[in-house]
Chain A
């Protein structure tokens, strides 16, 4: 059952990609900014919990809550200071500078601070659900993997319910469709930019905590995670969280299959080549045209 186990592994990593992709896509809808620091929040979540629990000796729940609170407060302050000056000032900054480079700088800043606080070694948050892997016939389920999947389902589902059934969700969708129009009908798009930024930062940190026992993190891991989230969001057309989710899962499964059947060493290289080819062959179907013009 190599195939089945590869699919399980693929769905597990794919759900991680998918969640980060959704975080990137949802915030891009409301802010027109690509969050290239989303992975760095995940890294801070994992290494922060590890540091507080293992080094400082805090109880695990306290360590998790403290870390998430710090992430939320930092994200809030960043929005209030930097993004407010950049987007809400007399002379709002437009184009690629604001789309890419403020969060890009933020990513560098967070990594630098993490290096000072957590050092350069590989660490991980403690496993929340330890024990031997569960088996079902010849299929193996790692407990950490199941936890990741459960988190993805719970957070993704809650998010979907919020968008679908609450006024806030509708307003959020409206801000994404047409920011100026949304502002005209009385929706404070800035408030949603802040809300979603803080929210996705915390979600990213949660995922960092549950994911880190599988992979292990250093202060530089954030960039790789942001990259996968960015790529998956790209294949979802940047503005469509639903498609970003599917893209993230597909990339995860494809990566696992390539690693298992083609080459463990060059699997990623082949994956990236396939992704590049896909984008060149079907830019419109993948939603790039609308992302560019709108």
Chain B
């Protein structure tokens, strides 16, 4: 992460952000936690800076810089990489070496090491972030093991003895009081800046992308998120913050022990993060404070610190997996409800609304108007489409084969779809329907053959690029993002952040734009009243409708629907059929469905797959009378 660039662009963008959203917010995003950190931190340093408590606090602030980055990378985005202790060590040892051997000041050394660490992380990250999930965790777990072997083996870094520094974080000379207090204040200011940056990223539109990435990488890619880039950015951010934490650690402690780089530091950092609350930047800071305070308590607690940490982590996670910040959030919500109850004279205000919203749902879904959803297309594509005739070829699947090992799933499948209309894709279980949809959507690469969108060969394009080119899809099993509202679930598909870098979101967030667009789509589908509901509280029909809304929100050119009617009642299917017909007037829909009546009712052309072969391609009348279809699908 280039801090200079970030700082300069932030200064510019912040002013414009404040100007444009003056009505929306009084306090800039991330302002509250960072101001709390700054004020409380400064008070503690100025009052206790010369005492033992103060030095424990400054030490914990050094670790908090690291854990704030971990909250973004590991907690929020669930990219578990055990690289922090290594980069903490890189920062700490680097500053020590620059100070001792090159005579640079600690502050200058810190800047150099953070930039250097970011560059190293960029190189290393472009290799390791190809891995996902547990593979990423295990691959990066090797880093501290390699690093500790190197450090204890070489004399250059001081080996097991450690590396002392002569310089201090506070630049220039002065009394010991000035050096201790000044150094402490620099750490607090840096921590506040880190908290500010991390909070702003998490609350921005890219923060929403990161949340989806954390829940499910494949869904994220299908919704247009450039997952490799985001993972790399997260890795660099985590490593950069870790190096900064290590550098100020060296500057304030004036000594780097061998343990700074070894896996126990990694474990300590993880405990801080998870006790504080993995998804909360502020929680991660509090976690670092709590653990360092306990370790530095110099009584029976610090003697038996392993027992205390083990018990504390177990109890906190049992009470709330989101740690102390989760417990605090629950407590605040409870207090708010309590005070709201008191204000309303004992009337349960929140509960009164919920049952009312439930029964009203089916009726409101009946009247659908899609005009504005479909009118609101991206300008460039709209122009391109207006120029062409209405039945030009939109998608061509040309001779696609797909084999898994020796098993042939798709065998020489070719089909073409025009720019609008509704097309059914049927076939028995295991016929290759979902695989064909995945080949078109890009999550599965064909063994041979080509997929062509408006004359462009997109066979090798990743799913997120295809999404951006107007291919939108739903999944056979509902893939909504739990823990987020309906509005946010739809807003994910409206983000315009796919080409933007994480750094730009320290400045201006475009989440409000995406939410506004999502709200319009929901309103058009008659689902506006659901916007604030958490998705897992919805019925299956509602969840499928939310997924459909999410697929429709970006105004796609090609909509791929994987069994949208499964699990729905007859009445719900009829509503869905009416909606699909409306959509198909303006866009191309490929519908995979088991319900033959529904398919024959709404489709203008139907494809039937069997054992990976395309065995039927024709209109609904032929479909009903075809002996092939009857023997395959109706039952022999």
User: Could you list which residues of chain A lie within 8 angstroms of chain B, going by C-beta atoms?
Assistant: 82, 85-86, 93, 95-98, 101-102, 104-113, 115-116, 223, 227, 231, 234, 238, 265-266, 268-269, 272-273, 275-276, 279-280, 283, 286, 288-289, 291-292
Q: Is B80 an interface residue (CB 8 A)?
A: yes
Q: Interface residues of A: mostly helix, strand, loop or mixed?
A: helix
Shortest beta-carbon distance from A262 to chain B in Å: 13
CB pair A280–B317 under 8 Å, yes or no, is no
CB pair A283–B313 under 8 Å, yes or no, is no
Shortest beta-carbon distance from B13 to chain A in Å: 34
Evaluate whether A292 and B135 lie within 8 angstroms (CB atoms) in the complex, with A273-B142, A280-B130 already known. Answer: yes
Query: From residue 317 to 333 of chain B, which have CB atoms closer than 8 A to chain A?
Result: 317-318, 321
The docked-state distance in angstroms from the alpha carbon of A82 to that of B150 is 39
Evaluate whether A97 and B149 lie within 8 angstroms (CB atoms) in the complex, with A273-B142, A280-B131 already known. Answer: no
Shortest beta-carbon distance from A81 to chain B in Å: 9
Q: Is B579 an interface residue (CB 8 A)?
A: no
CB pair A108–B306 under 8 Å, yes or no, is yes
Query: From residue 96 to 149 of chain B, which have CB atoms closer than 8 A to chain A?
Result: 127-128, 130-135, 138-143, 145-146, 149
Partner of A108, one of B127, B153, B309: B309
CB pair B314–A292 under 8 Å, yes or no, is no
CB pair A234–B138 under 8 Å, yes or no, is yes
In the complex, what residue of chain A is closest to B152 when comparing beta carbons? A265
A96-B80, A234-B134 known, 19 other contacts, Cβ within 8 Å: A82-B318, A86-B317, A93-B317, A93-B318, A104-B270, A105-B271, A105-B309, A105-B313, A108-B271, A112-B307, A116-B307, A223-B263, A227-B145, A269-B149, A272-B145, A273-B146, A280-B135, A288-B132, A288-B135
Residues of A within 8 A of B149 (CB): 266, 268-269, 272
Q: Can you list 8 contacts pairing A with B, beta carbon distance less than 8 Å?
A: A97-B278, A101-B313, A101-B317, A112-B309, A269-B149, A279-B138, A280-B139, A283-B135
Residues of A within 8 A of B542 (CB): none
Interface residues on B, range: 35 or more
5 closest A-B pairs by CB: A109-B310, A112-B306, A112-B307, A292-B133, A108-B310
Residues of A within 8 A of B313 (CB): 101, 104-105, 108
CB pair A288–B134 under 8 Å, yes or no, is yes
Residues of B within 8 A of A97 (CB): 274, 278, 317, 321
Q: Is B311 an interface residue (CB 8 A)?
A: yes
Q: Is B308 an interface residue (CB 8 A)?
A: yes
The docked-state distance in angstroms from the alpha carbon of A86 to that of B316 is 11
User: Could you list which residues of chain B lie within 8 angstroms of chain A, going by C-beta atoms?
Assistant: 78, 80, 127-128, 130-135, 138-143, 145-146, 149-150, 153, 263, 267, 270-271, 274, 278, 304-311, 313-314, 317-318, 321
Residues of A within 8 A of B127 (CB): 280
The docked-state distance in angstroms from the alpha carbon of A106 to that of B138 is 20
CB pair A268–B145 under 8 Å, yes or no, is yes
CB pair B314–A106 under 8 Å, yes or no, is yes
Most chain A Cβ neighbours within 10 Å, of B80, B304, B317: B317
Evaluate whether A238 and B317 lie within 8 angstroms (CB atoms) in the complex, with A112-B305, A273-B142 already known. Answer: no
In the complex, what residue of chain A is closest to B310 when comparing beta carbons? A109
Most chain B Cβ neighbours within 10 Å, of A85, A96, A106, A110: A96
The docked-state distance in angstroms from the alpha carbon of A98 to that of B153 is 36
CB pair B153–A265 under 8 Å, yes or no, is yes
Partner of B132, one of A96, A101, A116, A292: A292
CB pair B310–A106 under 8 Å, yes or no, is yes
Partner of A291, one of B134, B270, B310, B314: B134
Residues of B within 8 A of A288 (CB): 131-135, 138
The docked-state distance in angstroms from the alpha carbon of A98 to that of B267 is 16
The docked-state distance in angstroms from the alpha carbon of A288 to that of B133 is 8
The docked-state distance in angstroms from the alpha carbon of A107 to that of B267 is 11
Shortest beta-carbon distance from B261 to chain A in Å: 13
Shortest beta-carbon distance from A226 to chain B in Å: 11
In the complex, what residue of chain A is closest to B316 when comparing beta carbons? A105
Residues of A within 8 A of B128 (CB): 276, 280
Residues of A within 8 A of B308 (CB): 112
Residues of B within 8 A of A227 (CB): 141, 145, 263
